[in-house]
Amino acid sequence: MRLFSIISALIVVTVVSATEQPVTVRVGFFPNLTHSPAIAARQLEREGNDWHLAHLPPGSKIEWRSYNAGPSAMEALLAGTIDLTYVGPSPVINAHVRTKGKEIRILAPVAHAGNALVVRKGLNLKTQKDFIGRRVATPQLGNTQDIEARVWLKQGGLKVTLNGGGDTQIVPASNAELILLFSRGDVDAAWTVEPWVTRLTTEFGGEILVENKESIITVLASSKTALAKNKRGIEAFVQSHYLLRDKLLADKSWHEKLVRDGISGETRSAAPQAGLISTALGRVVFDPREDEAARKARLIAAFTQSLKDSQASGLLNGDAPIEPLLESLVADPVSQQK
């Protein structure tokens, strides 16, 4: 632990000295556990112990913007109202293809797993064919879980359309509304992320049918336009994110407490039960430090598959090379010390 503290102190000096002037960084995130580093950072702000500002030059500012799902965050990024965002792979791919590979850039991997298809008990939904005539909720049209739902159903031979027709109806809804629809029986299943997966299974009698534990669920993404204007600030934030990641991975109880209090602060409601947060966070795998070449190879493979899935879903026409998407990856500050 002492060695970790010494290394962290050295890295803080490196991060700050590399960006001597104050910076303002506008960051998008969602109040989901797959974005828990953002939720934790927000809670530390509330506690008067702002993590990111402690790792940025004096006078810097962090402006947080909350979104329900990825497509909204990517629209904000392309509109220039944020500098970077925590986001899932499908909205990244969609924006990458829309801009012909010239604008969107991934800065760092954040997490994988933490999302699942949850079905209502008693409906005997086991295979894709069982979903004929059923309704499935997803967080937003074109978000990562929406794409996964459409691709999975189509792989089973079902017809899924955008106008509510076809064999199965996809119902995009905010996560809060999704919970309500599921609890009332207005939908038969929901493909969503944590903590909503755990809430559906523990509070509303849902059962997990499909869970891809290897799929990337969250990255940090920016745009070439934002990087051209604020590269120092954006890269300093990402390096600070890496340091917070290390701290959260090293202290599970602290991580869970920050997330529990953070969700309460974001929703302005009572804090979720500790057991719910512990279970939900246990389904999310936060990407640890890894060799840079291995990291890039893993991301190329993951986003190549994400591109294929988005095309197969029927929501994306066109193509773009994956390599430019990864040309602005930010090096892990600890790796830089080696």
Looking at the structure, do residues 326 and 291 belong to the same domain, yes or no?
Answer: yes
DSSP state of 277: H
Looking at the structure, do residues 195 and 248 belong to the same domain, yes or no?
Answer: no
Render pLDDT for 134-191 as a digit per residue (tens, 0 to 9): 999 999 999 999 999 999 999 999 999 887 779 999 999 998 899 999 999 999 999 9
Dist CA 4 CA 69 (whole Å)? 35
Dist CA 95 CA 118 (whole Å)? 28
Q: How many Cβ atoms are within 10 Å of 288's Cβ, its own excluded?
A: 10
HSE-CB at 143 with a 13 A cutoff on CA atoms is: 29
Render pLDDT for 93-140 as a digit per residue (tens, 0 to 9): 999 999 999 999 999 999 999 999 999 999 999 999 999 999 999 999
What is the model's pTM? 0.89
Q: Which of 210, 228, 256 is at the close of a domain?
A: 210
Looking at the structure, do residues 107 and 126 belong to the same domain, yes or no?
Answer: no
As a whole number, the mean pLDDT across the chain is 91
Looking at the structure, do residues 91 and 122 belong to the same domain, yes or no?
Answer: no
Looking at the structure, do residues 23 and 151 belong to the same domain, yes or no?
Answer: no
Looking at the structure, do residues 323 and 181 belong to the same domain, yes or no?
Answer: no
Render pLDDT for 232-271 as a digit per residue (tens, 0 to 9): 999 999 999 999 999 999 999 999 999 999 999 998 888 8
Range of the domain at 70: 2-112+216-337
Q: How many Cβ atoms are within 10 Å of 62's Cβ, its own excluded?
A: 20
Looking at the structure, do residues 178 and 266 belong to the same domain, yes or no?
Answer: no
Total of domains in the chain? 2
Looking at the structure, do residues 235 and 333 belong to the same domain, yes or no?
Answer: yes
Q: Residue 318 maps to which CATH number?
A: 3.40.190.10
Report the alpha-carbon angle 140-142-147, nearest 5.
105
Looking at the structure, do residues 161 and 222 belong to the same domain, yes or no?
Answer: no
Residue 234: what pLDDT?
97
Backbone phi, then psi, for 317, in 5-degree steps?
Answer: -110, 140
Give 185's contacts (C-beta < 8 A, 6+ positions apart): 120
Looking at the structure, do residues 8 and 61 belong to the same domain, yes or no?
Answer: yes
Looking at the structure, do residues 163 and 79 belong to the same domain, yes or no?
Answer: no
Q: How many Cβ atoms are within 10 Å of 272's Cβ, its own excluded?
A: 19
Q: How many Cβ atoms are within 10 Å of 151's Cβ, its own excluded?
A: 19
Question: What tokens does 193 get?
Answer: 């992320």
Q: Which of 157, 179, 210 is at the close of a domain?
A: 210
Looking at the structure, do residues 266 and 158 belong to the same domain, yes or no?
Answer: no
The answer to whether 111 and 284 have CB atoms below 8 angstroms apart is yes
